[in-house]
Amino acid sequence: MPIKAIKEFFRNFTELPKALRQSVVRHDKPTSDRARSQIIFGNIFLHILSTRTHRYSLKKTFTLGLGVMAVSSFIILLVTGILLMIYYKPSVEMAYDSIKDIHFVVPGGRFIRNVHRWATNVMIVTVFLHMARVFYTAAYKKGRAFNWVLGIILLVLTLLLGFTGYLLPWDQLAYWAITIATNIAASTRELTDVLNMTSYCDPGGFIKVLLLGSEHIGEEALIRFYWLHCIILPLALIVVLAVHLWRIRKDGGLARPDKLTEKELEGTPKDALSDKVFDYAPEKTYGLMCLVKGKSPAVSRGPEQTVSSWPHLVVRLMAVFMMTYAFICLYAFFFNAPLKELANPSVPENPAKAPWYFLGLQELVSYSAFMGGVGIPTLALLGLAFIPYLDRENQEIGRWFDSKEGKRAALFSFIFASLMTIGMLALTVKLGWLRNWFPHIPQIVITFINPGTILVLAFIIWSFYWMGKDNSTRMAALALFTCFLVAFVILTYFAIYHRGPNWEFYWLKSQWPTH
């Protein structure tokens, strides 16, 4: 009967939106825990989350959403970066003009470039803060050691992405910042020169040429940075980030204390199953016990204090993403990304400053190129990466600064490092350093005895002091990490705002000499 087919066709036609929706999401509004779980593991993007999330992991003051902010800004950077690639031309002749055209005539170009530029800064800041959060909550412990190392790798990749992107506009800012930064990379020469071996072993020069493809910044460097910035580094970051997130799942979610008081869970969501203690064990279990760590199944223990990830976790992720995006959008609306005059190799910027996140290092480089450029950063990165292996103290994790003692160690270290760093800067600015006092002193002495190395030494001694005082490697780590973080922030601030032409000290930029 053709009538039946026609009827069916019209019914199908009227139900098209519903059928379409169902074919995509494959379920109705979830009403049961089972349905909510299904949303999570039935969706390729969400299934990296576990179906239930611990209430403590949703506590605002615990994570501050920093890791999610970093990932959010990375997603924003990916999207805007891909859009910018359509118009950007990586050639010395055309790069600057193409940025000008993006700014002036490409539809949405200026806004997208602004978003891309400011999202970079948001990502770098949040990555640093996220690292600090993980450290101060001791979240690198209990099987999470390697994930901390992955985090350090992600930090380095983030900085490299920012650094390679810095050159692409081909303006004065870019050109001279990269000049400074690659000279920092070549700073092992200070040491090899002293040892008289630069002519046959020059690792710094090798790295510089590897980065630039030439002795000088030109077309080779530009295309290389473009390639790194658009292909290699984002790919590497995506892969490492995937492992980083995957490991959070495999390590049993975010770090949290074993015993939690109700007060500590205040302000976190709760559902019917949160307080439930399961006392029924199935007689037969098809467990993955041989694969999954821990005692399972969890019977007669708890309550587990978890909530369904849908909607509690997902809505929080969305909130953090949208907040990050809204902040960057607002900033991009009011402030244009910097673009100075066309790069001119014959007119150096004075002061020529590296990208802001390397300015702390540049301050150290002004004391000793080798120590500031290679010695101290290598030491700091290795030190950071090995923290979880050197501090394996068994302790409660997941609380800011662990305990009262931890808070005290961090506070005293904060005061100590602030005083030390500011004092050292004041001393160097006011009185100069060995070279001013003994003009004929050999460079090798300054390489090893300069404000930077003295700070590092003081911090290490300080850290050992706390190790002995509290008889704890964790306290030593807390003290050392705080010292480095404080010094990094102060040095960066100092180099951004108080260093003027010829790297001289000025209180204000308006005091820079005009002639």
Partner 1 sequence: MRKVVLVSSLIVVFVLFFEAYRENVGDEWRYYQKRYKEELKKLATNDQEKQLANNYEIKMRQIVLPELNRVDRCISCHVGIEDSRMGDAQQPLTVHPGDILEIHELDTIGCTVCHDGQGRAITAKEAHAVGIPYWEKPMLFQPFLQSNCFRCHNMDELPQLMKFHEGKKIFFSNGCLGCHKLEGKGGQLAPDLTNVADANIHLKHPVNEDLIRQFHKNFNIAYIYESVKNPKAQPEVTAMPSFNFSEEEVEALTVFLKSLSARAVPASYLAQKRGGHQSEDVQGEALFRKYCVACHGIDAKGGVKNINYVKRTVPALNTLAERMFLAEPEDANKAAELLEKGVDITNMSPELDVPNRGRFLAQYRAIRNVIEKGSIAGKEDSKGPEPLLHMPSWAEGLTRKDIDSIISYLIKLYPWGEKKSEENNE
Residues that bind partner 1 in the complex, under the rule CB under 8 A:
93, 97, 100-101, 104-105, 107-108, 110-111, 171-172, 315-316, 318-319, 322-323, 325-326, 329-330, 332-333, 339-342, 344, 347, 349-350, 501, 513-515
- Smallest gap from Cβ 91 to partner 1, in A, equals 12
Q: Please give the structure tokens belonging to residue 10.
A: 């019209």
Residue 202 CA to residue 196 CA, distance in Å, equals: 10
Q: How far is CA 325 from the centre of its chain?
A: 17
- Smallest gap from Cβ 320 to partner 1, in A, equals 9
- Smallest gap from Cβ 58 to partner 1, in A, equals 9
DSSP for 255-314, please give it: ---SS--TGGGTTS---TTTT-------SS----TTTS-SS-S--S-----EEEHHHHHH
Q: Which is nearer to partner 1, 247 or 340 (CB)?
A: 340
- Please say whether the beta carbons of 274 and 306 come within 8 A: yes
- Smallest gap from Cβ 100 to partner 1, in A, equals 5
- Smallest gap from Cβ 61 to partner 1, in A, equals 15
Q: Which is nearer to partner 1, 17 or 107 (CB)?
A: 107
- Please say whether the beta carbons of 309 and 49 come within 8 A: yes
Residue 84 CA to residue 86 CA, distance in Å, equals: 5
Q: Which is nearer to partner 1, 322 or 415 (CB)?
A: 322
Phi, psi (degrees; rounded to nearest 5) at 304: -75, -25
**Residue 223 vs residues 170, 230, 232: alpha-carbon distances, Å:** 11, 10, 13
**Residue 191 vs residues 222, 442, 443: alpha-carbon distances, Å:** 29, 12, 9
Q: Which is nearer to partner 1, 306 or 463 (CB)?
A: 306
Q: Which is nearer to partner 1, 105 or 281 (CB)?
A: 105
CA triple 250-256-260, angle to 5 deg? 140
Q: Which is nearer to partner 1, 76 or 491 (CB)?
A: 76
- Please say whether the beta carbons of 369 and 190 come within 8 A: yes
Q: Please give the structure tokens belonging to residue 119.
A: 């999202």
- Smallest gap from Cβ 341 to partner 1, in A, equals 5
Q: Which is nearer to partner 1, 197 or 319 (CB)?
A: 319
- Smallest gap from Cβ 31 to partner 1, in A, equals 18
Q: Which is nearer to partner 1, 171 or 190 (CB)?
A: 171
- Smallest gap from Cβ 180 to partner 1, in A, equals 15
